[in-house]
Amino acid sequence: MSVLMAWLLALLLGLLLMVALYGRPRSPAAWVGAAGYAVPLGLLGCALLVSLPASLGWRELPPSLWCWPAVLLPLLGALAWRRSDRARAVPAGRAVLDDLVPPRWARAALMVMLVLVALRALWLYQEAWLRPLFGWDAWLAWSAKAKAWLLGGEALPFVDGQAWLDAGDGGVRTSLAHDYPELLSWLQVWMGSAAGGWREPVINLVWPTLWLALLAGCYGQWRALAVPRLTAGAGTYVLASLPLANVHAALPGYADLWVATLFVFAVLATVRWRESGDPSQLLLALLLAALLPAIKLEGMVWTAGVLALMLWFALRGRRLLFRALTVLAWVTVLLLVSWWWELAWLRQTIELFTLGPAGNVNNVLTATGAGLFTQYNWHLLWYLLPVVVVWRRRAMLANPSLLGLGLMLAGGLGLLLVLFLCTQAGRWAESFTAVNRLVLHIAPIAVSFMVLLLRRREEPAEPSVRPA
Amino acid sequence: MTHRRLLYAVLVLLAWAVVLVLLVPVPVTAPLQPERIEKLDGGSFIPVLGRSQVGERGLDIRSMDVDEGALQVRPLPGVQAGDFQVLRYRFEEFPRNLELVLVFRTREHPEDVQAVTIPTVVSGTGTVDLTAIDAWRGEIVELGFAQYPGPQSVPPASAFRPFTLVEAQLWSPSWRGAWAARMQDWFGPRSWALLSLSALGPDSALPKGRSLVAPVVLGALAAVLLGVLVLGWRGQAVLPPAILAVALAWLLLDLRWLHGLHARYASTGEIYSGLPAEERQRRLPDQALYDSAQMVRRVLGGSSERNLRVFVDAGADFQRARLLYHLLPMNVAPVNMVGLGTPEQRAGAILVLYNVERLRYDAGDGMLRDATGAMPAIELFDLGPLRVYRFPGIRP
């Protein structure tokens, strides 16, 4: 029962936060989108809240931990109440696909896609529910910390090996992943406390739910970005059918699906801010971008990407060189701040680069190409992306938000290639252990980019506004 | 226009046929049906591991051996590997969670037993392309099948169900055999592996086949290009057929993936379905490590006292990492990361070793020794792979 209450609490918190930021959704698509965003926001909000006492030095974890986030309900409820009467408007849109397909066929196609998504969701939930925690990094990194804290009843800090050896009172713990971000572990602690202990099947259900949230959030944002129903539905099916994303929902415990979800949600909110001028979307994007480094070390890189995209959009109307230099300056500032604070992500990145390339260039390129184009990870995604970009290049060049999004996506892909070619990460590419998981971080953005490219809409986004 | 459409349809089918022909591992001149078939009845196989008996339909495998495996072999009357390109095999009620391995021996290297994972088929006929197996050469003098639970993914005690080896057949090169092997490679079920979270395709131990993705892309591309060339699609007219081609190609790949996903889910269901959550959480692929952790916990009095620090080492990364996880919430540390510290740092701490050869204990002088030196330790117990020691002294 408390598990159900915990889920309701997280969803309610997430929804109230969405309403407080953005106002009450006024259309089914907007509700779907808000619900999608509410899942990671609510879950991670609960995780953040229960982690706060430990970060302030209070390390005891009482059994009633799961209901702590309820203290946020009155505050968020009040904020949501204030925003609930705001009228919202969504631009009407057209897209290539919807213009081509007659409505009767469109409805049939949507039904088929919905059935395929629903069937998949059923199997993913069942797999996650039945099988105990499976993935290597799951029990080596995030779940190990959570299990230690929850079963020990005490959130002892994880330190490096030397500090663990030196500590005389046993007041610290250690693991190979001692410097990994801990928010997901806290989420597992929170969910475990609701389940009354370390119950892997219950905790595992978070992952397929996040996968559903990813689909819902993207669908809602695409619709709000004037993508009509068939194109948005087809995009959702494409996203839902990416096999590697399915695997991360079926075999829970990895952080990559979280990074992918938060990253694309932040980027879509940024694009929506750019196109609609709605500052609440900017706030939402900032909030999501801020959560990324708390999930995984490389989340910091993607946060930098989101912030660079915001800067790029904010400087619209300025000269291209000025915008590019400002974005570069921002990245430099971020690097300096990370160096000053000795952040783990920069330390690991420097280690990777200073040790030099590890893999043979040929092997790395072959393995990366195989991961994208011939293995069964992405269906046709990486074949289609360049085709759609070339086909819709005019639409892209005419729309600064799409151009910015395209630049960021190209930057992300380029960064991954540099990482594999020039650093020790080359070994991960050659062994197929990381290349696709890192690509998963940007795959939903690639799908979003293609969906948005299919729109038939000119800048600016003001025309024909209809009530949502 | 009708003629052109007909021509287009024929050319598209031809293009697809060419793509498929290029991917089927058989010479163009090969016959449609195999000219030679070597039939091997299930009942002719001899059980080497596991308990089996000849039944009405073939060899009934009733149980696995204590090391959780089963093996059935039979001698061959000097079969030349090059004469046979395809192995067909039929099992009935084959357990979804067992790996199926083809084993064979050659006259050239009789001391080497070759073992290759091949696709499992629950009930029905499986086909494997033998030319994809490097070791399939020379004169084959013995052939058989082995079965064991999927490593690191299947609880050994839950994987086995009785099944029947009905028959196996060796086929000489033919289009039919090559096609069946390709279909099995593309659409046969796969099991979850740790690598599944990182790459789908390499996560299977099966002989390396050819991806279905590239031919699907080529097929869709051919359909669109031929439309441009033959039907004169230009400009906006290309769009509907191109989108349709992409949609169908995507759907084909997705249906294949869904079919595989369902097979993986069915394998999971065969083990865990109907069990309560607590029982599922205890039914693990690394049951021996879980039991070892429970044993350590019992010996140490169930203590999860944070001051009791526990060094953990194992012969393999997987074993070490899993043992650490199972021992939680004890205050554990991996030896490959922290080392064993100074005598003061490890005073009073516990050392848990699993399958570690490099550290040997001498009960005579109470010392643990490795290549670099020795350290005093008190043996708490030694159960073969699992050994537990306490370092002397009290932490100041």
The full 3-state SS of B338-391, as one line of letters, equals: HCCCCHHHHCCCEEEEECCCCCEEECCCCEEEECCEEEECEEEEEECCEEEEEC
Q: Which pLDDT score, from 0 to 100, does residue B304 have?
A: 61
Closest Cα in chain B, distance from residue A101 (Å): 8
Closest-CA residue of chain B to A124: B265
Say whether B338 and A164 touch across the interface (CB within 8 A). yes
Q: Which pLDDT score, from 0 to 100, does residue A341 have?
A: 75
Question: By C-alpha distance, which of A449, A456, A442 is closest to A384?
Answer: A449
Q: Which pLDDT score, from 0 to 100, does residue A82 have?
A: 82
pTM: 0.93
DSSP B86: E
Say whether B198 and A434 touch across the interface (CB within 8 A). yes
Q: Does A152 touch chain B (CB under 8 A)?
A: yes
Measure CB to CB from residue B333 to each of A131, A161, A250 and give the nearest one: A161
Across chain A, mean pLDDT equals: 89
Q: Which residue has the tokens 């892909």?
A: A413
Tokens in use for B355? 């399958």
Question: By C-alpha distance, which of A130, A245, A129 is closest to B197?
Answer: A245
Closest Cα in chain A, distance from residue B58 (Å): 34
Q: Which pLDDT score, from 0 to 100, does residue B336 have?
A: 93
**A chain contacts of residue B213, beta-carbon cutoff 8 Å:** 373-376, 379-380
Q: Does A368 touch chain B (CB under 8 A)?
A: no
Q: Element (H or E) spanning B147, and its range? A: strand B139-149
Say whether A379 and B257 touch across the interface (CB within 8 A). yes
Question: Taking residues B76-100, what's their average pLDDT?
Answer: 92
Q: Which residue has the tokens 């959570």?
A: A146
Measure CB to CB from residue A373 to each of B213, B280, B338 and give the nearest one: B213
- Judged by DSSP in three states, B309 sits in strand
Question: By C-alpha distance, which of A17, A78, A80, A82 is closest to A43?
Answer: A17
Q: Does A386 touch chain B (CB under 8 A)?
A: no
Q: Best mutation site among B97, B158, B194, B213 for testing chain A: the one with the most A CBs within 10 Å? A: B213
CA dist B173 and B25 (Å) reads: 9
**Residues A225-235 pLDDT 10s:** 999 999 999 99
- Exposed / middle / buried, residue A330 (Cβ in 10 Å: 0-12, 13-18, 19+): middle
Q: Report the percentage of chain A scoring pLDDT > 70.
A: 95
Residue A69 domain-assigned (yes or no): no
Residue A438 domain-assigned (yes or no): yes
**Residues B309-355 pLDDT 10s:** 999 999 999 999 999 999 999 999 999 999 999 999 998 899 999 99
CA dist A384 and A423 (Å) reads: 29
- Exposed / middle / buried, residue B287 (Cβ in 10 Å: 0-12, 13-18, 19+): middle
Measure CB to CB from residue B249 to each of A97, A119, A380 and give the nearest one: A380
Beta-strand pair A465-467/A89-91: antiparallel
Task: Please name every residue paired with B156 in a beta bridge, in sequence order, or none if there are none.
Answer: none
Say whether A144 and B328 touch across the interface (CB within 8 A). yes
**Top mean-pLDDT range of A77-86, A109-118, B106-115, B195-204:** A109-118
Cis peptide before A63 (omega within 30 of 0): no
Q: Which long-range contacts (CB under 8 A, 24 or more apart) does B268-277 make?
A: B268/A126, B268/A127, B268/A130, B268/A131, B268/B192, B269/A126, B269/A130, B270/B95, B270/B96, B270/B97, B271/B97, B271/B154, B271/B155, B271/B158, B271/B159, B272/A130, B272/A131, B273/A130, B277/A199, B277/A200, B277/A201, B277/A202
Measure CB to CB from residue A161 to each of B257, B329, B337 and give the nearest one: B337
Question: Taking residues B368-376, what's their average pLDDT?
Answer: 88
Q: Which pLDDT score, from 0 to 100, does residue A432 have?
A: 85
Residue A35 domain-assigned (yes or no): no
- Exposed / middle / buried, residue A463 (Cβ in 10 Å: 0-12, 13-18, 19+): exposed
Say whether A170 and B199 touch across the interface (CB within 8 A). no
CA dist A198 and A253 (Å) reads: 14
Closest Cα in chain A, distance from residue B240 (Å): 7
Q: Best mutation site among A116, A120, A134 for testing chain B: the one with the most B CBs within 10 Å? A: A134
Question: By C-alpha distance, which of B192, B259, B264 is closest to A119?
Answer: B259
Please determine, for residue B119, whether its predicted confidence score (pLDDT) is greater than 60: yes
Beta-strand pair B59-63/B51-54: antiparallel
Q: Looking at per-residue confidence, does A133 or A418 come out higher?
A: A133
Q: Which pLDDT score, from 0 to 100, does residue B245 have?
A: 95
Q: Does A132 touch chain B (CB under 8 A)?
A: yes
Question: Quick one: CA torsion of B45, B51, B56, B58, rounded to 10 degrees?
Answer: -30
Tokens in use for B298? 């019992």
Say whether B197 and A148 touch across the interface (CB within 8 A). no
Question: Taking residues B75-87, what's their average pLDDT?
Answer: 91
Measure CB to CB from residue B199 to each of A174, A246, A375 and give the nearest one: A375
Q: Does A2 touch chain B (CB under 8 A)?
A: no
Closest Cα in chain A, distance from residue B12 (Å): 20
Are B81 and B121 spatial neighbours (Cβ–Cβ below 8 Å)?
no
Closest Cα in chain A, distance from residue B17 (Å): 20
Question: Taking residues B210-235, what's their average pLDDT?
Answer: 92
Say whether A116 and B254 touch across the interface (CB within 8 A). yes
Question: Taking residues A243-250, what's their average pLDDT?
Answer: 97
Please determine, for residue A328, whether its predicted confidence score (pLDDT) is greater than 70: yes
Please determine, for residue B267, whether its predicted confidence score (pLDDT) is greater than 50: yes
- Superfamily name with CATH number, domain B29-197: Galactose-binding lectin (2.60.120.430)
Measure CB to CB from residue A251 to each of B192, B283, B318 and give the nearest one: B192
Residue A342 domain-assigned (yes or no): yes
CA dist A464 and A455 (Å) reads: 15
Question: Taking residues B170-194, what's their average pLDDT?
Answer: 91
Q: How distant, in Å, are the alpha carbons of A182, A189, A193 from that of A147?
A: 12, 7, 11
Q: Considering Cα of B305, then B306, then B307, then B310, what sign does the dihedral take? A: positive
Q: Which residue has the tokens 């012969």?
A: B315
Q: Looking at per-residue confidence, does A89 or B89 come out higher?
A: B89
CA dist A207 and A142 (Å) reads: 13
Domain range spanning residue A426?
Answer: 290-459
CA atoms within 13 A on the CB side of A17: 26
Q: Does A151 touch chain B (CB under 8 A)?
A: yes
Residue A451 domain-assigned (yes or no): yes
Question: What band does A325 get if pLDDT is binned at 50, 70 and 90?
Answer: confident
**A chain contacts of residue B272, beta-carbon cutoff 8 Å:** 130-131
Residue A425 domain-assigned (yes or no): yes
For the ranges A278-287, A455-464, B87-96, B206-215, which has the lowest average pLDDT?
A455-464
Q: Which of residues 282-321 of A touch B (CB under 8 A)?
A: none
Say whether B277 and A143 touch across the interface (CB within 8 A). no
**A chain contacts of residue B327, beta-carbon cutoff 8 Å:** none
Q: Residues with Cβ < 8 Å from A237, sequence gap 6 or more?
A: A113, A116, A117
Say whether A170 and B217 touch across the interface (CB within 8 A). no
Domain total in chain A: 1
CA dist A24 and B251 (Å) reads: 36
Please determine, for residue A358, whether its predicted confidence score (pLDDT) is greater than 90: no
Question: Taking residues B152-177, what's their average pLDDT?
Answer: 92
CA atoms within 13 A on the CB side of A291: 27
Amino acid at A373: F
Closest-CA residue of chain B to A438: B198
Residue A294 domain-assigned (yes or no): yes
Question: What band does A87 get if pLDDT is binned at 50, 70 and 90?
Answer: very low
Q: Best mutation site among A247, A254, A387, A433 for testing chain B: the one with the most B CBs within 10 Å? A: A247
Q: Which residue has the tokens 């230690």?
A: A148
Tokens in use for A95? 């897209």
**B chain contacts of residue A132, beta-carbon cutoff 8 Å:** 280-281, 283-284
Closest Cα in chain B, distance from residue A29 (Å): 24
CA dist B80 and A206 (Å) reads: 55
**Residues A124-163 pLDDT 10s:** 999 999 999 999 889 998 999 999 999 999 999 999 999 9
Q: Best mutation site among A154, A165, A453 for testing chain B: the one with the most B CBs within 10 Å? A: A165
Question: By C-alpha distance, which of B307, B311, B312 is closest to B323?
Answer: B312
Question: Taking residues B283-308, what's their average pLDDT?
Answer: 85
Say whether B331 and A173 touch across the interface (CB within 8 A). yes
Q: Which pLDDT score, from 0 to 100, does residue A465 have?
A: 41
Say whether A132 and B280 touch across the interface (CB within 8 A). yes
Question: By C-alpha distance, which of A280, A99, A129, A300 is closest to A204?
Answer: A129
**B chain contacts of residue A3, beta-carbon cutoff 8 Å:** none
**B chain contacts of residue A379, beta-carbon cutoff 8 Å:** 213, 250, 253-254, 257
Are A149 and A61 spatial neighbours (Cβ–Cβ below 8 Å)?
yes
Closest Cα in chain A, distance from residue B214 (Å): 6
DSSP A95: B
Residue A121 domain-assigned (yes or no): no
Q: CA Rg, chain A, in Å?
A: 22
Closest-CA residue of chain B to A240: B254
Ordered by start, the domain boundaries in chain B are 2-12+216-272, 29-197, 287-390
> What's the 3-state SS for B207-256?
CCCCCCHHHHHHHHHHHHHHHHHHCCCCHHHHHHHHHHHHHHHHHHHHHH
CA dist B327 and B329 (Å) reads: 6
Closest Cα in chain B, distance from residue A218 (Å): 20
